Structure 1
């Protein structure tokens, strides 16, 4: 055993004063750098300041002394130095803290100021030098002072104070820089939402319920669904390029005017089926992207994102650039009230993955508006034989998770192989599928039966209109 290890085992760190925990701990890199410096010098330059035998300033220096076996130098805090809270603040390197960390640290200062003020007021009352009504600083006044000390807004400090009340563990994670206040609050809101949903709705015995409507056109079948009943519609319609979906290639080669009118009709029905906070996602090709976007917005839908869906193994073209993309439109009924669960679309940033940049947001970032998707081709095990236009399930799962909640109704007017249904049922959503082809409805029913429970009617889905 090394000398350092033996000494570290013999020396124990001093207890830490609660006021010292107002500020975040050093990062691993900062601690290692300080430790190397102390090892080189052979001593700690600044003494460890204690208050009532507990470390007020220098908790990291104390740990290093224990680990390196260096003599610990301490000095007891003196009242002539002022308030212990102000002293801790004066030692803070808060320029290296994020705004979220500053707000959390300000909460600690604010609470300590209130406690300290009440203590002094009580002492003055005993001496008869203060009126009873004058009870010292309030939470509000202390928040303003603490916010000013750390250079953040009082509102942001109040935001952090609410987080501490709601979830002390998440507050500590934020103080230590492992997440941010906005991301922490999203976690809290998501958890509260899930708790409310579980209390309000019965727990499904299996993943979800599905109903495949009798074979029929999307316009007619959508008109049969209850108004304002679906929180999410995902549509990957025929592209009018002559694909044989079972009725011959000519059925997918309408006159442009007729095709646009048909698309406008089913978009209008889809709009009416959506809940006020619902969304409609449309995947379409180059030829019809602009026209259908205008048709949807003309019907009163609002475009939140125009996403480029880039596929590997694109289609080779002989006399123009190869086709490797599609267009994914994200429409909502009302831009002021939407269901958007950030966690479903979250990923690590390049700063985290590639550059190991300390400035990276520890919570990652939202997806970009260009999605790279591996095209589903043989012999991929997910591929259903013979079906001409099957999509991968993973991106649809993300859309379902991000734009709906458990037990919500998800609708696909072009059910096809049932990919949207699998994405919905596997995440505890209910599902309605519409398709012209009896053959594909049969195959999709077999697929969906493995992940959900078939309803005998729409009424079984127990989803009423949301006003």
Structure 2
């Protein structure tokens, strides 16, 4: 349990020392313990100074997490979910946003709860990946939901130019109409659709270059890069209540954001903190990305690749 008096000290802390494309990165603070105990004691959280929350909670699928019991009775799991959601919502600034990475079986409850908390849904995105785990009794899972809610829809961070990609028409058909600027978008570019997939979007497994030992549920860096670039600014504070392998912290720190993470497992927290210090593997891989389903018929025109 967290201390109820005095100032809660982070287990691991790194002050601004990494030079990134956004300038000198803000500090990193990692706390070990149950996020329901830790968050109310963290000063920036108590003061409502968080700009962006990204949460990838345990799915309650009986996974072998280090120290965490991942098979609660359904009602207990929902109580747990609502508790951490409320703490994260209360931590947000007025312009703040929250993303939740969650599978089918708890997605609806989270959407309803965040709407009851008066947040506005901006997007219901889907992370689509290959190599889902085999099963004989139903169709294989190949997606997770990425729920994007804002505390104030009109006052939220939104950096469209940070996440543009080459349009399908430009990359597949070389359609000359895409070479004209439209709706304020650069020639041949568009915002990504709400189903996310591509070269570096697969599950992190096997000999994947990003994979770090000791964690089986690691998210790809491009996922967090898209979220953080689009919905926060350099200098903002990012919170991840389920630090896990540390991908959120890795990308946030490299992009010049401050970062706070809580993690139930002390061993995971140490590995994640070391990974944050070492920096990302694929930062910038989203630049000029092409996610067209069909292979390009021609080389992507130079105007669309700029």
Q: Give the TM-score normalised by the residue count of structure 1.
A: 0.51
Question: 1:137-286 maps to which residues of 2 (within 5 A)?
Answer: 206-213=24-31, 215-224=32-41, 225-247=45-67, 251-286=69-104
CA shift digits 1:263-294 (9 cap, x unpaired): 11111110111110111000001111111111
Aligned with 1:401: secondary structure?
Answer: helix
Aligned with 1:326: secondary structure?
Answer: strand
CA shift digits 1:171-198 (9 cap, x unpaired): xxxxxxxxxxxxxxxxxxxxxxxxxxxx
Superposition deviation, residue 307 in structure 1: 0.7
Aligned with 2:98: secondary structure?
Answer: strand
Q: How many aligned residue pairs are there? A: 247
Match of 1:399 in 2: 227
Aligned with 2:137: secondary structure?
Answer: coil
Provide the C-alpha distance between the structure 2 equivalents of 1:348 and 1:381, rounded to a whole number of angstroms: 25
Provide the C-alpha distance between the structure 2 equivalents of 1:263 and 1:406, rounded to a whole number of angstroms: 29
Provide the C-alpha distance between the structure 2 equivalents of 1:284 and 1:370, rounded to a whole number of angstroms: 14
Match of 1:329 in 2: 147
Aligned with 1:212: secondary structure?
Answer: strand
Question: 1:63-462 maps to which residues of 2 (within 5 A)?
Answer: 206-213=24-31, 215-224=32-41, 225-247=45-67, 251-360=69-178, 361-362=180-181, 363=186, 364-372=189-197, 373-451=201-279
Superposition deviation, residue 351 in structure 1: 1.7
User: Does structure 1 conserve the Cα–Cα contact (< 8 Å) formed by 2:127 and 2:143?
Assistant: yes
CA shift digits 1:93-133 (9 cap, x unpaired): xxxxxxxxxxxxxxxxxxxxxxxxxxxxxxxxxxxxxxxxx
CA shift digits 1:347-402 (9 cap, x unpaired): 11122112222221542111101111211111112101131211111110111111
Match of 1:128 in 2: none
Superposition deviation, residue 413 in structure 1: 0.3
Provide the C-alpha distance between the structure 2 equivalents of 1:414 and 1:357, rounded to a whole number of angstroms: 44
Match of 1:62 in 2: none
Superposition deviation, residue 241 in structure 1: 0.7
Aligned with 1:343: secondary structure?
Answer: helix
Q: If each structure's strand is expressed as a fraction of its own residues, which one has the higher value?
A: 2
Aligned with 1:314: secondary structure?
Answer: coil
Aligned with 2:89: secondary structure?
Answer: helix
Provide the C-alpha distance between the structure 1 equivalents of 2:114 and 2:135, rounded to a whole number of angstroms: 30
User: Does structure 2 conserve the Cα–Cα contact (< 8 Å) formed by 1:208 and 1:426?
Assistant: no
Task: Choose between structure 1 and 2 for higher RCO, CA contacts under 8 A separated by at least 6 residues.
Answer: 2
Change (3 A) 1:335 1:206: closer
Provide the C-alpha distance between the structure 2 equivalents of 1:418 and 1:436, rounded to a whole number of angstroms: 13
Q: If each structure's helix is expressed as a fraction of its own residues, which one has the higher value?
A: 1
Superposition deviation, residue 205 in structure 1: 7.2
User: Does structure 2 conserve the Cα–Cα contact (< 8 Å) formed by 1:207 and 1:451?
Assistant: no
Provide the C-alpha distance between the structure 2 equivalents of 1:239 and 1:343, rounded to a whole number of angstroms: 33
* Unmatched segments (≥5 aa) in structure 1: 1-202, 453-467
User: Does structure 1 conserve the Cα–Cα contact (< 8 Å) formed by 2:203 and 2:218?
Assistant: no
Task: Please tell me the root mean square deviation across aligned C-alpha atoms, in Å.
Answer: 1.7
Larger Rg: 1
Provide the C-alpha distance between the structure 2 equivalents of 1:449 and 1:365, rounded to a whole number of angstroms: 33
Provide the C-alpha distance between the structure 1 equivalents of 2:119 and 2:171, rounded to a whole number of angstroms: 37
Provide the C-alpha distance between the structure 2 equivalents of 1:301 and 1:405, rounded to a whole number of angstroms: 20
Aligned with 1:431: secondary structure?
Answer: strand
Provide the C-alpha distance between the structure 2 equivalents of 1:317 and 1:347, rounded to a whole number of angstroms: 34
